[in-house]
């Protein structure tokens, strides 16, 4: 593979080959050309590849070999919670009773699916301490937007049309301000203090009668617990605003505390993070939201109900914000999350958080001598280092990331959160062993050493990947977004 | 209880605590204030062994009537199609399903290239040059297309055909409340968008016109005429929601002047799974390339000149534009996009066309047989693989009886269109055999009296 391009499936194509095998036409043939207006009949066939089945399998297997997954190696990508994806989940979702059911079947014929959804909701209510859950949003960001739309509906129902501001910390995920904007709000940024926590004095100054909500991650994106959370809740509530919890970091606190106990009115979860839905190279995910009793009337339709032991879909919700996702959400991901929760139970989930936090602190303390650690208190499930020391030697954080590729690791999240210079955000997760953590620590220390003694080897990394560093600027300047047959 | 996903031993734990300089893990949680501490165990079902859990879930699944056991004539946006075996084998490879968004392209070339190929295939089918790496589903793709049109034209009125999937329209309504858009519904006439009303409502304040092709009733909308009307307004955009399988045979919307084509690739390699996850696609013109929501994969080269793929034009995205972002899409449906790609590759140039034609042939046979059983189709235009019939009694009653005989009947249109009470939307795909269709028609005739 050294200097050759890996072919596109189109380039493996040869006229006359095929790998399809469709049922035969067993009904009398109708001349479609006579029935359809000629203008609606396609004149040139879509140029899809023509390959035989073996060639197709070789192609995709070849591609998979050029991809890094959690079962390939350590994937300490901060904020993404790349924990092990249990294989039982994959078996369960493939049961025909889960994978081959139609959303519009009569509810009497899908009682098992509705039971699972209902049960998952009950479990998530308990884990978050919220009054009611909907499984409808397809991803965390859709969950954020859904919850903000509900908060909007709540304020409007009270005649508070003037509440048009959402407060977001400067360390927040980019989705928070984006979701607020798509819901029609402007965002106001609250600063972090020297400890990496929300500056409560700044928050006091920012809240007013236009405050619709504060969006907060806790632990925050620096991996730190917001210790003044109750004060913050009180400040926001005192002006009539709502508290919104971004659940991306829930993996750190299960069984120790709950958003509902901290005064949050709405919360979204990323089932694919905390509850082991595989990330699929960028989805599908699932982003259920939980809300307080006060916000429950605004939940999207339909809601799963249980009446006399029978499960139903309730569409009769006059105050609902409407539907936010086709059908009932990403059911397939929800089945996986349910399977995981049933595997772990209360004791197991608490251990998950315990070990996620232990692993993160162990790594943080093992690396703080060689890498700048901007916030020194104990962290939760992730922590942020700065590559500022290495930058002075001419080695950037991106170089460190690329050098890790040579050492067979997926790099941490880089350049986020935005408030830390040359940020390296590391999240080991609870499913990694001490041996794995130690090898990664050694690799990081080796790179720190190389930055001092042999910076070129870091600056020019990676040295042994399928492709070298790619020209991203060129890709953006002259975009090639699809295959074009030559000649 | 043993927890097989947690590798830490007591010895490990002790060594790690020593390194950190604390005596227990509890100290690492001491920053959580007492007032918010959970002082009890979570009240969840007790965990069970792997064997027991599999048994429990298998029993739960068996309470659902599934499409491999029942003969289904239900479509309405989610279809029961043949899925080649290769699809699941590919997406079950952990390198695909356990990976994250390809932020490190050097070790994510597999994912990136597979998505680039997906973009290329959807581009071929829709006749649009730019395709994104997928969205949550067809409904979300429609919402994003409406948002883009509003953003691009700086206008707030959107005309939507009533023959667009009712749930897609509901999602647009929900989103419109955030952006304060004016949504105008264009009625249907004989199963097609009412062009007279469309012409009347279409004005210089209109950001976009949205239709579905084939529409929710299975009918083939006159895209050519609709485009002519739209082009009378300078800025108004033409959005078409389209079943990509039908485009194996039908002229692609791109050839009728569409500005945005969206839809769901569930028809290619993705099981119904109770409505999700499926896979929305978003296709558009070069002019709008820099406004596309979600992710785009582009081709480039590395420093040795070797070809490679990267996420590109990311300045559009929420993690950079933050509060100025016009879309908050993050994760997409990458794995399902790969599944669709494998299915499309497997079918290939001729297979996609053949499968589309098989759908059309079998649906026509079903329609003709129902007509012979005194159940004629109510709309008589050209259609793809779905059509509407009128029954003499409530659809739910008919479906109950059909279910007893091992069939899943069609969609009850009265639920979404009050004026279509007792009307059933019937879908026939390539996997329904003549025998099954004949048996279904016989039951329908008997039940309907």
What percent of the residues of chain B are helix, what percent strand, and what percent coil, each to the nearest 5? Answer: 45, 15, 35
Identity of the residue in B104, B137, B437 whose CB atom sits nearest the CB atom of A138: B137
* Spatial separation of the C-alpha atoms in residues B399 and A431, rounded to whole Å: 48
Measure CB to CB from residue B365 to each of A28, A66, A97 and give the nearest one.
Answer: A28
- Cβ contact A338:A120 at 8 Å: yes
Judged by a CB distance cut-off of 8 A, whether residue B167 touches chain A is yes
Strand, coil or helix: what is B355?
helix
Q: How distant is the alpha carbon of residue A265 from its chain centre?
A: 21
- Kindly state the helix (H) or strand (E) to which residue A311 belongs, with its residue range: strand A310-314
Whole-angstrom CA distances from B205 to B153, B160, B180 are 9, 14, 14
Residue A1's pLDDT is: 43
Which residue of chain A comes nearest to B408, CA vs CA?
Answer: A105
Helices (H), A183-289: 200-206, 229-238, 271-274
Whether residue B158 contacts residue B210, with contact meaning beta carbons closer than 8 Å, is answered with yes
Q: Is A1 touching B (CB cutoff 8 A)?
A: no
Inter-residue contact A31 to A38 (CB < 8 Å): no
Q: Give the largest CA-CA distance in chain A.
A: 78
> Which residue from B19, B92, B167 is facing A362, i.e. has the nearest CB?
B19
pLDDT surpassing 80 at residue B449: no
Average pLDDT over residues B204-215: 98
**Cβ within 8 Å of residue B216, ≥6 positions away:** B76, B77, B163, B164, B165, B166, B425
**Which residues, 6 or more positions from B92, have their beta carbon under 8 angstroms from its beta carbon?**
A90
**List of chain B residues whose C-beta atoms are within 8 Å of the C-beta of residue A321:** 174, 177
Q: A386, A368, A387: which is closest to A377 by C-alpha?
A: A368
Question: Is the CB of B110 less than 8 angstroms away from the CB of A432?
Answer: no
Instruction: Find tokens 């534009």 and name the residue.
Output: B321
Spatial CA neighbour of B342 closest among B79, B119, B132, B118: B118
For B307, the 3-state DSSP assignment is strand
Kindly state the average pLDDT of the residues B401-414.
98
Verify whether the Cβ–Cβ distance B403 to A145 is below 8 Å.
Answer: no
Section B13-21 average pLDDT:
98
Q: Residues of A numbered 194-223 whose beta carbons fall under 8 angstroms of chain B's beta carbons: which are they? A: none
Beta-carbon count within 10 A of A43 CB:
8
pLDDT score at B192: 98
B32, B106, B330: residue with CB nearest A141: B330
Q: Quote the CA–CA distance of A169 and A62 in Å, as a whole number.
A: 43
Question: Between vectors from CA B196 to CA B190 and to CA B200, what angle results, nearest 5°?
Answer: 145
DSSP A41: B
Are A81 and A300 in contact by the 8 Å Cβ rule? The answer is no
A437 in Cβ contact with A362 (< 8 Å): yes
> pTM for the complete prediction?
0.97
Contact A120, A341 (CB under 8 A): yes
Kindly indicate the confidence band of residue B178, based on its pLDDT and cuts at 50, 70 and 90.
confident
> Is B170 in contact with A99 (Cβ distance < 8 A)?
no
Give the integer Cα–Cα distance in Å for B91 and B61: 22
Cis upstream peptide for B214 (omega within 30°): yes
Residue B409 — φ and ψ, nearest 5°?
-75, -175
Strands (E), A394-481: 413-414, 423-426
CA atoms within 13 A on the CB side of A354: 18
Indicate the SS3 state at residue A45.
coil
Q: How far apart are CA A269 and CA A259, in angstroms?
A: 11
Chain A positions in Cβ-Cβ contact with residue B102 (cut-off 8 Å): 281-282
Q: Strand order of the sheet with strand A423-426?
A: A383-386, A423-426, A413-414
- What are residue B300's DSSP bridge partners? B308
Q: Choose among B89, B124, B175: nearest Cβ to A47.
A: B124
Residue among B27, B174, B361 minimizing CB distance to A324: B174
Tell me whether residues A101 and B273 touch, CB distance under 8 A.
yes
Asked if B180 reaches chain A (Cβ–Cβ under 8 Å), the answer is: yes
Q: Does B7 touch chain A (CB under 8 A)?
A: yes
CA–CA separation, B412 and B400 (whole Å) = 12
| A383: number of Cβ within 10 Å | 27
Q: How high is the ipTM of this complex?
A: 0.97
Specify the pLDDT at position B11.
97
Interfacial B residues in 353-382 facing A (CB < 8 Å) = 353-355, 357-358, 360-362, 364-365, 382
Q: Is there a contact between B163 and B193 (Cβ–Cβ < 8 Å)?
A: yes
Mean of the pLDDT values across residues B153-182? 95
CB pairs under 8 A between A and B: 691
Contact B36, A333 (CB under 8 A): no
Token readout for B233 is 């307004």
- Helices marked H in B127-211: 138-153, 166-179, 195-201
Query: Using one digit for the tens of pLDDT, what is the confidence trace for B61-120?
Result: 999 999 999 999 999 999 999 999 999 999 999 999 999 999 999 999 999 999 999 999
Sequence length of chain A is 487
Interface probe with B: pick from A141, A155, A437, A482, most Cβ of B within 10 Å? A482
pLDDT per residue rounded down to tens, chain A (487 residues): 445 799 999 999 999 999 999 999 999 999 999 999 999 999 999 999 999 999 999 999 999 999 999 999 999 999 999 999 999 999 999 999 999 999 999 999 999 999 999 999 999 999 999 999 999 999 999 999 999 999 999 999 999 999 999 999 998 888 899 899 989 999 999 999 999 999 999 999 999 999 999 999 999 999 999 999 999 999 999 999 999 999 999 999 999 999 999 999 999 999 999 999 999 999 999 999 999 999 999 999 999 999 999 999 999 999 999 999 999 999 999 999 999 999 999 999 999 999 999 999 999 999 999 999 999 999 999 999 999 999 999 999 999 999 999 999 999 999 999 899 999 999 999 999 999 999 999 999 999 999 999 999 999 999 999 999 999 999 999 999 999 987 6
Show Cβ contacts of residue B419 under 8 Å, excluding neighbours closer than 6 positions. none
With 90 as the cut, is the pLDDT of residue B177 above it? Answer: no
Q: Does A73 touch chain B (CB under 8 A)?
A: no
Q: Confidence class of residue B320 from pLDDT cuts 50, 70 and 90? A: low
Min Cα separation B49/chain A (Å): 7
Interchain contact A310–B (C-beta under 8 A): no
**Residues on chain A touching B120 (C-beta within 8 angstroms):** 8, 10, 482-483
Q: Reply yes or no on whether the pLDDT at B321 is more than 80.
A: no
Contacts of A330 (CB under 8 A, 6+ apart): A138, A284, A285, A286, B136, B276, B277
pLDDT in tens, B215-236: 999 999 999 999 999 999 999 9
Q: Half-sphere exposure of A377 toward its Cβ, with a 13 Å CA cutoff?
A: 18
Question: Is A25's CB within 8 Å of B361's CB?
Answer: yes
Q: Quick check: A186 and A279 in contact, CB under 8 A?
A: no
Q: How far apart are CA B167 and CA B421, in angstroms?
A: 18
Please give the helix or strand (H or E) that residue B237 lies within, else none: strand B237-242
């Amino acid at each position: 593979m050294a200097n050759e391009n890996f072919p596109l499936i189109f380039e493996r194509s040869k006229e006359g080959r095929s790998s399809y095998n469709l049922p035969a036409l067993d009904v009398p043939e109708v001349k479609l050309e006579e029935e359809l207006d000629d203008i609606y009949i396609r004149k040139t066939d879509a140029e899809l590849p023509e390959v035989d089945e073996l060639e197709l399998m070789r192609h995709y297997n070849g591609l998979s070999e050029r991809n890094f997954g959690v079962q390939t190696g350590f994937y300490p990508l901060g904020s993404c919670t790349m924990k092990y994806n249990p294989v039982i989940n994959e078996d369960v979702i493939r049961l025909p009773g889960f994978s081959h059911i139609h959303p519009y079947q009569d509810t009497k014929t899908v009682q098992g699916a509705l039971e699972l959804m209902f049960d998952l909701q009950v479990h998530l209510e308990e884990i978050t301490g919220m009054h009611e859950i909907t499984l409808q949003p397809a991803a965390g960001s859709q969950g954020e937007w859904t919850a903000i739309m509900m908060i909007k509906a709540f304020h409007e129902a009270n005649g508070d049309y003037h509440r048009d501001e959402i407060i977001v910390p400067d360390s927040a995920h980019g989705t928070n301000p984006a979701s607020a904007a798509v819901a029609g709000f402007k965002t106001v940024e609250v600063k972090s203090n020297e400890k990496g926590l929300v500056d409560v004095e700044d928050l006091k100054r920012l809240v007013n009668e236009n405050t619709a909500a504060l969006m907060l991650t806790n632990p925050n994106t620096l991996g730190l617990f917001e210790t003044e959370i109750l004060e913050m809740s009180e400040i926001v509530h005192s002006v009539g605003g709502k508290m919104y919890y971004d659940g991306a970091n829930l993996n750190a606190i299960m069984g120790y505390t709950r958003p509902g106990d901290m005064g949050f009115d709405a919360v979204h979860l990323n089932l694919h993070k905390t509850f082991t839905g595989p990330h699929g190279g960028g989805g599908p995910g699932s982003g259920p939201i939980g809300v307080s009793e006060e916000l429950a009337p605004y939940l999207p339709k339909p809601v799963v109900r249980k009446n006399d032991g029978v499960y139903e879909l309730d569409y009769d919700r006059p105050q609902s914000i409407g539907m936010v996702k086709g059908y009932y959400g990403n059911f397939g991901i929800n089945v996986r999350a349910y399977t995981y929760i049933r595997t772990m139970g209360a004791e197991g989930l608490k251990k998950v958080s315990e070990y996620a936090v232990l692993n993160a602190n162990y790594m943080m303390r093992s690396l703080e001598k060689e890498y700048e650690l901007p916030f020194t208190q104990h962290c939760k499930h992730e922590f942020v280092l700065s590559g500022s020391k290495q930058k002075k030697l001419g080695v950037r954080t991106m170089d460190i990331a690329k050098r890790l590729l040579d050492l067979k690791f997926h790099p941490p999240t880089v350049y986020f959160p935005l408030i830390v210079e040359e940020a390296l955000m590391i999240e080991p997760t609870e499913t990694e062993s001490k041996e794995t953590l130690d090898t990664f620590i050694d690799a990081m220390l080796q790179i720190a050493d190389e930055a001092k003694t042999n910076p070129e080897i870091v600056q020019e990394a990676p040295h042994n990947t399928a492709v070298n560093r790619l020209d991203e600027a060129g890709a953006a300047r002259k975009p090639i977004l699809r295959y074009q047959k030559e000649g | 209880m043993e927890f097989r996903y947690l590798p830490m031993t007591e010895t490990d734990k002790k060594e790690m605590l020593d390194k950190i300089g604390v005596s227990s893990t509890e100290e690492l949680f001491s920053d959580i204030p007492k007032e918010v501490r959970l002082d009890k165990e979570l009240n969840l079902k007790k965990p069970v062994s792997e064997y027991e859990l599999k048994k429990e879930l298998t029993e739960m699944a068996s309470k659902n009537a599934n499409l491999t056991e029942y003969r289904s004539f239900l479509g309405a946006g989610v279809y029961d199609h043949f899925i080649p075996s290769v699809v699941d084998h590919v997406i079950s490879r952990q390198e695909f399903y356990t990976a994250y968004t390809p932020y490190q392209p050097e070790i994510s070339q597999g994912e990136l290239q597979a998505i680039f190929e997906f973009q290329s295939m959807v581009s071929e089918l829709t006749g649009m040059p730019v395709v994104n790496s997928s969205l949550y589903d067809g409904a979300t793709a429609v919402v994003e297309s409406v948002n883009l049109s509003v953003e691009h034209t700086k206008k707030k009125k959107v005309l939507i055909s009533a023959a667009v999937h009712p749930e897609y329209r509901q999602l647009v309504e929900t989103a419109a409340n955030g952006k304060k858009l004016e949504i105008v519904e264009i009625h249907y006439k004989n199963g097609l968008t009412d062009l007279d009303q469309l012409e009347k409502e279409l004005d210089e304040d209109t950001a976009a016109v949205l239709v579905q092709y084939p529409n929710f009733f299975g009918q083939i909308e006159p895209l050519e005429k609709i485009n002519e009307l739209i082009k009378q307004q300078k800025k108004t955009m033409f959005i078409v929601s389209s079943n990509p399988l039908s485009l194996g045979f039908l002229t692609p919307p791109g050839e009728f002047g569409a500005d945005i084509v969206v839809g769901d690739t569930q028809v290619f390699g993705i099981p119904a799974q109770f409505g999700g996850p499926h896979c929305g696609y978003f296709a558009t013109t070069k002019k709008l390339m820099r406004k596309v929501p979600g992710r785009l994969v582009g081709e480039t080269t590395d420093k040795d000149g070797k070809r490679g793929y990267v996420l590109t034009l990311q300045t559009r995205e929420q993690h950079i534009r933050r509060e100025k972002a016009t879309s908050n899409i993050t994760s997409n449906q990458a794995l399902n996009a790969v599944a669709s790609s494998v299915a499309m590759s497997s079918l290939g140039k001729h297979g996609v066309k053949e499968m589309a034609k098989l759908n059309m042939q079998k649906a026509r046979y079903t329609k003709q047989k129902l007509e012979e059983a005194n159940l004629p189709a109510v709309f008589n235009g050209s259609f793809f693989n779905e059509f509407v019939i009128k029954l003499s009694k409530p659809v739910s009653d008919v479906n109950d009886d059909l279910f007893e005989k091992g069939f899943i009947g069609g969609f009850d249109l009265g639920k979404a269109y009050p004026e279509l009470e007792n009307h059933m939307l019937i879908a026939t795909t390539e996997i329904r055999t003549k025998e099954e269709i004949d048996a279904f028609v016989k039951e329908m005739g008997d039940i309907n009296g």
